């Protein structure tokens, strides 16, 4: 499912449910069964139910059909972290980066709610904008959706040009996150600070306390990676600082592509070094590129 295909949907909760159901259908197996491993009880089989969990050994002994029931694991804590800095509101017309990230957060929250796993949502730009509690109730899910809805429907205005302080935010999360949690970060990794060492140190710190970390590197590849603009002068505006520059993209494309490749390699190398799952995300592609890595990580942790 592509972002362009769901632009007209206003109800984020309904859309997240459809994204998750479509994802599950595509896998031909529901993640809502099998996360848990602890047997709870048997119950009599009713005609029309799925035969997936029939206890065939018990049937051989009793000549009656019984279904195995399991207790779901409820001890996973997942912190969803959303970058709401000005650069995440690119492109200005569609706000594709931040809208994609908001729908991805809502979809993951939907999966977690189904599993009765605890989750929270943290949003930041220069500072922490808001942070919900770590809970697993349907009411808490509704609260998270309410926080994400303005991001999705475009009613949340792009913040004024300001410096993104990614490193201090990650340090704060590292210090306040419960041990053995799953931290899922959605960011374009544009940090206005000049000290990359602080950023790498913060990424490393996230892994303290045996936390698992997934970094979804959100970008609009045609513009921000390929620099695929027409061969004519453009006025580029730095959304973080407000600085303006009049250039012809064709004259800078090779240099720009190399700088982006160098940055990607540094981030990838540091994530590999600190055992952080790193996934470059192109918002022009579908949502499965987010849900599949998350699902795989969730299964490994279970």
Indicate if 161 and 44 belong to the same structural domain.
no
Query: Is the link from the previous residue into 91 a cis peptide, with omega within 30 of 0?
Result: yes
Task: Give the pLDDT of residue 252.
Answer: 92
CB 256 within 8 A of CB 76: no
Indicate if 99 and 20 belong to the same structural domain.
yes
Parent domain of 171? 13-26+74-301
Alpha carbon of residue 122 to chain centroid = 12
Predicted TM-score (pTM) of the model is 0.82
Tokens at residue 20, please? 């998750």
Indicate if 248 and 155 belong to the same structural domain.
yes
Closest C-alpha among 277, 302, 298, 280 to residue 23 = 298
Cα dihedral: 238, 126, 10, 294 (round 10): 100
More confident residue, 281 or 21: 281
Closest C-alpha among 101, 106, 117 to residue 216 = 101
Q: Does residue 188 register a pLDDT over 90?
A: yes
| pLDDT tens-place string over residues 242-260 | 889 999 999 999 999 999 9
Tokens at residue 6, please? 């769901």
Element (H or E) spanning 39, and its range?
strand 38-44
Q: Does 4 reside within a domain?
A: no
Indicate if 166 and 288 belong to the same structural domain.
yes
Task: Give the pLDDT of residue 58.
Answer: 81
């Amino acid at each position: 499912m592509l972002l362009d295909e769901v632009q007209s949907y206003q109800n984020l909760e309904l859309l997240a449910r459809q994204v998750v159901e479509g994802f599950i259908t595509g896998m031909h197996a529901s993640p809502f069964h099998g996360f848990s491993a602890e047997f709870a009880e048997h119950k009599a089989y009713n005609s029309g139910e799925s035969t997936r969990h029939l206890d065939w050994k018990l049937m051989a002994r009793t000549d009656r059909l019984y279904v195995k029931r399991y207790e779901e694991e409820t001890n996973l804590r997942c912190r969803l972290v959303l970058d709401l800095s000005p650069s995440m509101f690119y492109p200005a017309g569609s706000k594709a980066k931040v809208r994609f990230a908001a729908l991805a957060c809502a979809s993951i929250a939907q999966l977690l709610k189904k599993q009765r796993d605890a989750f929270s949502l943290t949003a930041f730009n220069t500072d922490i904008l808001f942070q919900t509690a770590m809970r697993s109730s349907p009411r808490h899910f509704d609260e998270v959706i309410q926080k994400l809805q303005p991001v999705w429907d475009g009613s949340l205005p792009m913040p004024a040009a300001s410096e993104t302080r990614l490193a201090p935010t990650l340090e704060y999360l590292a210090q306040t996150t419960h041990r053995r949690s799953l931290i899922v970060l959605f960011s374009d990794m544009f940090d206005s600070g000049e000290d990359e060492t602080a950023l790498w140190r913060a990424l490393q710190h996230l892994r303290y306390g045996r936390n698992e970390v997934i970094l979804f590197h959100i970008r609009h590849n045609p513009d921000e990676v390929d620099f695929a603009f027409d061969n004519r002068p453009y006025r580029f505006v730095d959304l973080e600082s407000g600085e303006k520059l009049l250039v012809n993209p064709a004259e800078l494309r090779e240099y720009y592509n190399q700088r982006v490749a160098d940055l990607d390699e540094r981030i990838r190398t540091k994530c590999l070094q600190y055992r952080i799952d790193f996934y470059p995300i192109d918002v022009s592609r579908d949502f499965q590129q987010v849900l599949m890595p998350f699902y795989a990580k969730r299964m490994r942790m279970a």
